[in-house]
Amino acid sequence: MSKQKYNKVSVVGGAGHIGLPLSCFMQNNGFEVVVIDNNLKSLNLLKQNILTFYEKDLEINLKQALGDGLVLTNDLEKISETEIVIVTIGTSSNKEHLELFKNLMNDVLEKISKESLLILRSTITLEDIELIQSNNNFINKNIKLAYCPERIAEGEAFNELKKLPQIVGTEIEEVYEVTKDIFKNLKIKTISTTINDAIFTKLFTNSYRHANFSLANEFYNIAVENNIDFERIRELATIDYPRLKNFPFTGYVGGPCLPKDLETFIKSYNVEDSLLNHLEEVNDKFLNNIVQRCNKIFDEKKLILLGLSFKVDSDDIRGSGSIELYRKLKKEGFEIFPVDPLVNQEEIDFELFEFSQASKKTNNILIAVDHKNFKEFDLKDKKVFYVEI
Ligand SMILES: NC(=O)c1ccc[n+]([C@@H]2O[C@H](COP(=O)([O-])OP(=O)(O)OC[C@H]3O[C@@H](n4cnc5c(N)ncnc54)[C@H](O)[C@@H]3O)[C@@H](O)[C@H]2O)c1
């Protein structure tokens, strides 16, 4: 395992939200990167420097990386030409995803070169690791395995890739040393631990964040049921009171990571009869309470719903609380005119409207996700209710 060998990298799942920023970042910092992805449509667009999702500074980084020789392909055989293979495909604890991940890892281990370094970056479980470690190709080819979980927030990839320390899970000192050198070349500090502890750390982090946001929603639910103005209480409790300075605002607990990682945590560690088993109910109730407030606040069962993505200024609708809210409002009998210029109509199974069109239909506005560009909309003379403060 000579150090100078470790310069060629393939990133499997490299066209995704995690894989693509990482691939560009590595290519722009001296590595030779091959993006491998089975989404041909994305690959073709990316080759022309056309973005397939929003990520701050991605366009400029992709342009530079393409200019520096970043390769994009759907050919998994290419991993045999690189010494480092990083896997960043989407994972979850649902059966279909588990099966896809298992099959992909079998293919990767079949094609990977001897002595390669295999870095897993997707959220995974101990079971995934055990399957990989018991694979004959893994054993016979003497593959070095490190689990290096991604912890960035979507939209902040290029900022956080540089800033966050990298947890490196491996039991083998030599593997840690090689992995540390790779991140050192990217000026990223590493923290050494076992694979087991790295898995627990990643899942616990997202479950903690989920619980933190859910607790704020639980207080909101209780306040609403007791006719108490929760926003006012929140303000009272936090004014010049440093111990509550990190108290979260109420809002959705969604997106591509938190709900699915909580579920994975619960299943992986057989968590039963715990606070964690009730968090999703809290958030469901939170959305039901928003629906009830819409019933009270608005004078007719008609509203414009602004913002559909899972968070502000994002185009990602995976795990979107706003879309869940749309469905609940629809069930309640509301006529809804959803508006979100960031979101792609093709990804949604209901009609999106332009604001100019929708604003002729009703004066009721539900700001479900408050994108910056909504500031341009004329909301004077409208009845406006914000889901998230
Ligand atoms: N999105 C986030 O903010 C975030 C943050 C931290 C960690 N993570 C974790 O990172 C992982 C990836 O998440 P993501 O948001 O990038 O997912 P994503 O869906 O955006 O990207 C996954 C990519 O893998 C590709 N892919 C799927 N199966 C493949 C196969 N068999 N061969 C080749 N390519 C394949 C897809 O086409 C896609 O481009 C997940 O485990 C997620 O939990 C995500």
Task: State the Cα–Cα distance between residues 281 and 19, nearest whole angstrom.
Answer: 32
Q: How many domains does the chain have?
A: 2
Shared domain for 166 and 256, answered yes or no, is: no
Question: Does residue 1 register a pLDDT over 70?
Answer: no
Q: Using an 8 Å Cβ cutoff, are 89 and 59 in contact?
A: no
pLDDT of residue 93: 86
Shared domain for 66 and 145, answered yes or no, is: yes
Q: Using an 8 Å Cβ cutoff, are 199 and 208 in contact?
A: no
Q: Kindly list the distances between the CA atom of residue 309 and the CA atoms of 118, 165, 320, 346, in Å, as whole numbers in the listed order.
A: 33, 28, 6, 14
Shared domain for 294 and 249, answered yes or no, is: yes
22 lines ligand 1 (CB under 6 A): no
Tell me which of 88, 209, 311 to substitute to probe ligand 1's pocket, judged by most ligand atoms within 8 Å of the beta carbon.
88
The count of other CB atoms within 10 Å of the CB of residue 215 is 16
Q: What percent of the chain has pLDDT over 90?
A: 95
Q: What percent of the chain has pLDDT over 70?
A: 98
Query: What's the N-to-C CA distance of the chain in angstroms?
Result: 53
Enter the pTM of the model: 0.95
Reported as a single tens digit per residue, the pLDDT across 269-296 is 999 999 999 999 999 999 999 999 999 9
Shared domain for 66 and 92, answered yes or no, is: yes
**Binning pLDDT at 50, 70 and 90, where does residue 76 land?**
very high
pLDDT of residue 320: 97
Out of 164, 193, 222, a domain closes at: 193
Reported as a single tens digit per residue, the pLDDT across 375-389 is 999 999 999 999 986
Q: Average of pLDDT values for 239-246?
A: 96
Task: State the Cα–Cα distance between residues 380 and 14, nearest whole angstrom.
Answer: 45
Out of 193, 220, 249, a domain closes at: 193
Tell me which of 18, 79, 99, 260 to substitute to probe ligand 1's pocket, judged by most ligand atoms within 8 Å of the beta carbon.
18
Shared domain for 27 and 169, answered yes or no, is: yes
Nearest protein CA to atom 13 of ligand 1, as residue: 90
CATH number of 51's domain? 3.40.50.720
Shared domain for 215 and 187, answered yes or no, is: no
**Binning pLDDT at 50, 70 and 90, where does residue 5 land?**
low
Shared domain for 186 and 228, answered yes or no, is: no
Q: Is 183 exposed, middle or buried (0-12, 13-18, 19+ CB in 10 A)?
A: middle
Residue the block writes with tokens 């606040």: 297
37 lines ligand 1 (CB under 6 A): yes
Domain extent at residue 292: 201-386
107 lines ligand 1 (CB under 6 A): no
Q: Average of pLDDT values for 127-143?
A: 96
Shared domain for 216 and 245, answered yes or no, is: yes
Tell me the two tokens of residue 211: 């619980």
Question: Does residue 128 register a pLDDT over 90?
Answer: yes
Shared domain for 263 and 223, answered yes or no, is: yes
pLDDT of residue 274: 96
Across the chain, what does the average pLDDT equal?
Answer: 96
Shared domain for 189 and 264, answered yes or no, is: no
Reported as a single tens digit per residue, the pLDDT across 35-60 is 999 999 999 999 999 999 999 999 99
Reported as a single tens digit per residue, the pLDDT across 296-308 is 999 999 999 999 9
Task: State the Cα–Cα distance between residues 213 and 219, nearest whole angstrom.
Answer: 10
Q: Average of pLDDT values for 219-248?
A: 95
pLDDT of residue 2: 44
- For 240, list phi and psi in degrees, rounded to 5: 50, 35
Shared domain for 151 and 244, answered yes or no, is: no
Out of 174, 193, 212, a domain closes at: 193
Shared domain for 102 and 133, answered yes or no, is: yes
Reported as a single tens digit per residue, the pLDDT across 180-208 is 999 999 999 999 999 999 999 999 999 99
21 lines ligand 1 (CB under 6 A): no
